[in-house]
Chain A
Amino acid sequence: MAGLTRTAGAFAVTPHKISVCILLQLYAPSAQMSLPFPFSSISQHNRLGLYLLSLTKSCDDIFEPKLEDLINQLREVGEDMDAWLTDHLTNRFSSLTSPDDLLNFFNDMRGILGSLDSGAAQDDQIILDPNSNLGMFVRRCILAFNLLSFEGVCHLFTSIEVYCREAHSSSAQYDESNDNLESLIQHDQMDMEKYIMDKATEEVELQKNASGRVPFHLHTPEALFKVTKGLLVTRKEKSRTNTKKAEATQLACASSSTVGDTLVDESLFLRTNYQIQGFLMEQADAIETHGSSLSSSSIESFLQKLQNLAPELHRVHFLRYLNKLHSDDYFAALENLLRYFDYSAGTEGFDLVLPSTGCSMYGRYEIALLCLGMMHFRFGHPNLALEVLTEAVRVSQQHSNDTCLAYTLAAMSNLLSEMGIASTTSVLGSSYSPVTSTASLLSVQQRVYILLKESLRRADTLKLRRLVASNHLAMAKFELMHVQRPLLSFGPKASVRHKTCPVSVCKEIRLGAHLLSDFSAESSTMTIDGSLSSVWLKDLQKPWGQPVFSQESGSRKSSTFFQFCDHLVSIPGSVSQIIGASYLLRATSWELYGSAPMARMNTLVYAALFGDSSSSSDAELAYLKLIQHLALYKGYKDAFAALKIAEEKFLTVSKSKILLLKLQLLHEHALHRGNLKLAQRMCNELGGLASTTMGVDMELKVEASLREARTLLAAKQYSQAANVAHSLFCTCHKFNLQIEKASVLLLLAEIHKKSGNAVLGLPYALASISFCQSFNLDLLKASATLTLAELWLGLGSNHAKRALDLLHGAFPMILGHGGLELRARAYIFEANCNLSDPSFSVSTDSDTVLDSLRQASDELQALEYHELAAEAFYLMAMVYDKVGQLEEREEAATLFKMHITALENPQDEEPNMA
């Protein structure tokens, strides 16, 4: 609480600022000359000016560069006179031998400022306008120095000594620590300059080729005209070279731990509150984005430091909570969360609180409850979470904090929809009126819907745009997955027709995406200010982020441009996160509605544009979708390769979905290759991931038993498979999982088809088709139609014509959007139909059949689906036999044999993934 109210605009003199002042003195010496001594050209002079400008801007940053860093930067800027600049700087510092020298130094600084009514300035004199950026900076420094007490001057003096000593000792330190790498380092240090320059020019050339923009380093006169852009260019340039440099030093030190060290640097100067808040917020974003791939101990030690420096800054505890949350340390997370709210009563630095509402005298403990609830949720204690969130609802109502209420309701609906708690009536029943009245009557889904509506309404009236957007997205998700029907239906008249409505899903998604245009009107300015102040010179900090980026695969690299723009327009990370989520949701909905290309495109858009700002779980989801797509459309080889990359990145994340995906892929693969034992094992493991509580993790459970039924089916144990499928259908019905019902029905039809009982299968297939129709599941419908056609054919060859017609109706959908397996099945079936059609003559029309069979066999081989592949080759061999092409026949026959043997002896050479 105290932290925010105390002098927010404090500006302290630090050694770094003194170096900037020294440089300013060089830039604008009080002597009269058009071009001061060391500069050989005006452009050189201007370059220093621009550099100083960016330095003064970045002075509000939380970190200050060390003298060493400054000297390195000067080398880039100063080129041929860098030695002179550095010498001057260090000499000036070493001439400060007593506090009195400091006093004189600041007196001299006064001289480089022009008088306020500077009409009398001569043309050839370089005088700083006191109202310019640089002038203001000098004035602030002088003022801050004058305000210092003698003790303060003494402290400044000692910190200058430390500042200089560090620069001197740094090279020595390297030598001490890495004896074996000594020569390398020395070499590196000697050649550093040359190396950088080479790299810089190389890159400049590259850049010129690429973008046509004239970079700053080329000293063409044009560059100077683009002063406005120039700054931009230097920043960008610098970031690049610095990255290079970081790589170079990393190479030399041969350890990535340096990165952590930089983050927790000794030269941590405390800055104004605003900056720290902004900085902490950035860190929080970073923690969220990178999840546990960010080393938690380095953040921890940094926070420890910050806490030592500023014990009254309670936000640190919150950061620690976040950090612990992401490294899955339940007790520490809980402890820190409670501590944060105990200390600050939730009033420090919470941006979801509009400043105008101020702090009520009760503090904001409802937010504590909200956070606690979400924490329990994350650690997998849904009942506890619900309990806490209920209390949060009550307390926010009591303190009439509508904002928090809206968020809490959203969190609650999220919890309910993810976990699907079966028996929540006792919890929800007690306090919350809109829920109470109906709670006992409603299913979880309906409750989710009510909560969402309620939250949306509140968020809308309170103009919480981000919440509105994310609520819209949640709503879209809800509409996508759950069947819409009248909330309270009584009596015989209520309509019983269930269906989903893609239009409303689309509407919700679009409403969610409106945020991008809206967010600028958002009143929470602090977020933006806070992080902006440290965005300056952020590019200089880039090396810190380096290890994170380098781990990532290709999709990230293309995003640098967007990221850069991101800084310029400063879209808050949370906004782009929500927008990104909307793309992911689009992908999901297309997946469901059955358009593979659209799903893939949306996922790619997400990965390309929003990958940087995404939270780790979202990024994981995107990877998951892409890998699934690969498996379906490109075969397992590619998918497993991609999975390997994803695994490295995400497996450390808690509750990783990647593990799930891996099991799914392995199961499919095993099924196709006929390795049923492995399939069964995978299936059981999948089931083991789900929680044992009734009604929780329903989707996972459904999936597990669906796969079990399929495994049984593959093992030709029809009655058992049918039993599993039947009970699964009952479960789906009980928990209102309408969409899953469609696929279970299809599976039942499939089982009957395989068991040779086509008549029994027909009604199931028809029911599945009608479900698909009302829920707009086009792809599923196509595959159901295929099954229906197969069933017809199973009734006898006299139905071949009808079956073929059905198949042709579904063909566009299957070929356009279907995966490898579905397409291959369709092709084989087409051939089968043709062959069994009495009116079809093989000898005349063999190409039609062979074509589709060839297609099918290609796709099946990519999929390693031995059973179907064998069938395709068998048919092929038969056809060749008929038309008398013996050579081809033999070839097809060997391939048939090969697949059959592979199917019968499923070797355990599973891919090394298992």
Chain B
Amino acid sequence: MVSKESCRNEIRAAIRQLSDRCLYSAAKWAGEQLVGIEQDPSNFTPSNTRFQRGSSSIRRRFSTISTPQPSAGFSQPPATPLPQEEDEVIDGDLYLLAKSYFDCREYRRASHVLRDQMSNKSLFLRCYALYLAGEKRKEEEMIELEGPLGKSDAINRELVSLERELSALKRTGAIDSFGLYLYGVVLKEKGNESLARASLVESVNSYPWNWSAWSELQSLCTSIEILNSLNLNSHWMKEFFLGSAYQELRMHSESLAKYEYLQGIFSFSNYIQAQTAKAQYSLREFDQVEIMFEDLLRNDPYRVEDMDLYSNVLYAKEACAALSYLAHKVFLTDKYRPESCCIVGNYYSLKGQHEKAVMYFRRALKLNKKYLSAWTLMGHEYVEMKNTSAAIDAYRRAVDVNPCDYRAWYGLGQAYEMMGMPFYALHYFRKSIFFLPNDSRLWIAMAKCYQSEQLHMLEEAIKCYKRAVNCGDTEGIALNQLAKLHQKLGRNEEAAFYFEKDLERMDAEGLEGPNMFEALVFLATHLKTNKKFDEAEVYCTRLLDYSGPEKEKAKSLLRGIRMAQTDFPSMDMEHFPL
């Protein structure tokens, strides 16, 4: 295990270097991790303890102990020594000016000031400022050029010159890891993904503390093959990267393992906690996620990032009050964040005010066109409002933003099914199942499609329900349907088997209801016809516990059984008054 102290020192230096180069979000991320490291007991001060968590920190400390200690595979000293800052006396003054301009968002001015500076640091800042200036102009142009057809071919005009300059520098080798990072970003924008990956890998190998570089790299790893093919030096930052990359690739348990390991060092990192919560959310552990988010909010009350996920959890648990509280709080913090709009949208949706919900989702999308969950959620709202074509449009956009979003595929299938096009819908269900093959709900939806009266492909439906059962159908629809379908097809043995299973499940969960009666009646009659009177009697007596027509049915069945057992001449007893 890397020693906490060395980590701390590395990060401290890195933050200084990153913020010196105006890589603020990376610096912010590093800062979060820095405070996330458990304090040395030696320099414990009361203020420090207050900053850290109370109750949960204890729990966490226990968990740290139980974490398996990794082998000495990556040992100290860290593989990458901290780069020493070069002497900046000569261009120091200009650099300071440029940095101030940069801080005031006067990017072009900043890059102009540094036009003749040759040191690596100034070079990076100049290029970076130029890049940001181009980005800013691009955003503006996008709005200006909004023509009759939504023309949006605005591009960052600085990319070409930046690429030329950076590639020349790279060829001569006069480029540092920050330059490589920028080069990677530029290449990615230009669509040259493989080169971009190579450049970013080189950057993170020589300077691993730049989280921005890691996250750019992560966005370029669209499949596990690509991820495995990367040639990365081992460093604790790589673990962070792998954690988030696994999460994107829907390998949730692997990602959870990574985070658990990291928690050994960064026991108080909000980031890790939020990421863990995300992974748990994907595994549908809502209760656990809720606790984690509550915890997170207690420590970091003005956090907006990832709070949309929390709102989803609250939505799923139908916690109106908590959701409204969260929405209010987030709105006061920063109302123009896509996440905040999404949370409000969720709140209205829960309240059944779908028009308002759509309005807020729209606002979220205006702030970030590629905000995946807002598209999907908007689709859900439109489905609620029975506006299927709008719903389909929204879902399709979600799918085009990220083709792995099984919710949107599922939504598409649902919408088409609603319109009475089950065969068309099947394709979408298949797509969604492809991305999440272990979810019983999806299998059930598909089975229902096959079962619909238009298609009536019962054999296929049975196959789907079987898959659903194997995936652990929590709602118990699949067993019941399987039994019914087999009954319909006249395969009584199979039907009995599934009814029995369903009965077991209901007993285990302590449920009662029409499904139970149905199962009991069927089993009793079936066993009776198969002359297994004893077992049939058991089911009949169970039925007698309930009132209603089933009770009468049970009585007559019982009578029939007695009759058959005592070998009476066959005679219909029901006609006799009792």
Contacts and interface: CB of A to CB of B under 8 A. Distances in A.
Interface of A: 2-3, 6-8, 10, 12, 149, 151-152, 155, 270, 272-273, 276, 308-313, 334, 338-339, 342-343, 345, 361-363, 365, 368-369, 372, 387-388, 391, 394-395, 398, 430-431
A8 B456 CA distance: 46
Interface stretch (B65-73, B413-421, B433-441, B510-518): B413-421
Shortest 7 CB-CB contacts between residues of A and residues of B: A342-B396, A310-B149, A312-B150, A363-B389, A345-B389, A151-B144, A10-B148
Given A361-B389, A362-B388, A363-B388, A395 B150 contact: no
Interface stretch (B296-304, B334-342, B422-430): B422-430
Contact of A398 (B395, B420, B423): B420
A136 B400 CA distance: 43
Contacts of A387: 423
Interface in B452-487: 454, 456
B452 to A, nearest CB: 11
B420 A339 contact: no
A395 B149 contact: no
A196 to B, nearest CB: 35
B147 A10 contact: yes
B145 interface: yes
A395 B153 contact: no
30 contacts: A6-B148, A10-B148, A149-B144, A155-B145, A270-B149, A273-B148, A309-B151, A309-B152, A311-B150, A312-B149, A338-B427, A339-B396, A339-B400, A342-B393, A342-B395, A343-B396, A345-B389, A345-B392, A361-B387, A363-B388, A365-B419, A387-B423, A391-B422, A391-B424, A394-B454, A395-B419, A395-B420, A395-B421, A430-B454, A431-B454
B393 A6 contact: no
A140 to B, nearest CB: 15
A115 B421 CA distance: 62
Given A313-B149, A342-B412, 20 more contacts: A2-B150, A6-B149, A10-B147, A10-B148, A12-B147, A270-B149, A273-B149, A334-B427, A342-B395, A343-B393, A345-B392, A361-B387, A363-B389, A365-B419, A368-B424, A391-B423, A394-B454, A395-B419, A395-B420, A430-B456
Contacts of B420: 394-395, 398
Contacts of B148: 6-8, 10, 272-273
B451 to A, nearest CB: 14
Given A152-B144, A311-B150, A339-B400, A369 B421 contact: yes
Interface of A is mostly: helix
Contact of B389 (A6, A152, A309, A362): A362
Nearest to A152: B144
A285 to B, nearest CB: 22
Interface in B496-514: none
Contacts of A310: 149-151
Contacts of A394: 420, 454
Nearest to A151: B144
Contacts of B151: 270, 309-310
Contacts of B387: 361
Contacts of B421: 365, 369, 391, 395
A67 B422 CA distance: 54
Contacts of A10: 147-148
A12 B151 CA distance: 13
A3 B395 contact: no
Contacts of A270: 147, 149, 151
Interface of B: 141, 144-145, 147-153, 387-389, 392-393, 395-396, 400, 412, 416, 419-424, 427, 454, 456
A430 B422 CA distance: 14
Nearest to B147: A270
A344 to B, nearest CB: 8
A339 B395 CA distance: 11
A66 to B, nearest CB: 18
Nearest to A369: B424
B59 to A, nearest CB: 47
B55 to A, nearest CB: 49
Contacts of A361: 387, 389
A747 B481 CA distance: 58
A8 B150 CA distance: 13
B398 to A, nearest CB: 11
Nearest to B157: A158
B502 to A, nearest CB: 30
Contacts of A7: 148
A483 B412 CA distance: 46
Given A345-B392, A388-B424, A309 B144 contact: no
A769 to B, nearest CB: 49
A402 to B, nearest CB: 17
A276 B147 CA distance: 14
A3 B412 CA distance: 22
Contacts of A313: 149
Pick the most buried of A308, A338, A388: most chain B CB atoms within 10 A of its CB. Answer: A338
A129 to B, nearest CB: 30
B337 to A, nearest CB: 24
Nearest to A360: B389
A431 B420 CA distance: 13
A624 B562 CA distance: 81
A372 B422 CA distance: 14
Contact of A311 (B145, B152, B389): B152
Contacts of B419: 362, 365, 395
A272 to B, nearest CB: 7
A398 B419 CA distance: 10
A361 B388 CA distance: 9
A313 B150 CA distance: 8
A101 to B, nearest CB: 21
Contacts of B412: 342
Nearest to A334: B427
B97 to A, nearest CB: 29
Nearest to A368: B424
Nearest to B394: A342
Contacts of B427: 334, 338
B378 to A, nearest CB: 14
B149 A345 contact: no
A334 B431 CA distance: 12
B454 A388 contact: no
Contacts of A12: 147
Contacts of A372: 424
Contacts of B423: 369, 387-388, 391
A310 B152 CA distance: 7
Contacts of B392: 342, 345, 363
Nearest to A276: B149
Contacts of B145: 155
B190 to A, nearest CB: 14
B424 A365 contact: yes
Contacts of B416: 365
A910 B8 CA distance: 82
A82 B400 CA distance: 51
A152 B395 CA distance: 34
A514 to B, nearest CB: 36
A362 B387 CA distance: 8
A155 B427 CA distance: 45
A631 to B, nearest CB: 45
Contacts of A339: 396, 400
A149 B147 CA distance: 13
B281 to A, nearest CB: 27
A395 B423 CA distance: 11
B153 A309 contact: yes
Contacts of A342: 392-393, 395-396, 412
A676 to B, nearest CB: 48
A309 B149 contact: yes
| Most A CB within 10 A of own CB, among B149, B420, B421 | B149
A441 B387 CA distance: 42
A220 B102 CA distance: 71
Contacts of B147: 10, 12, 270
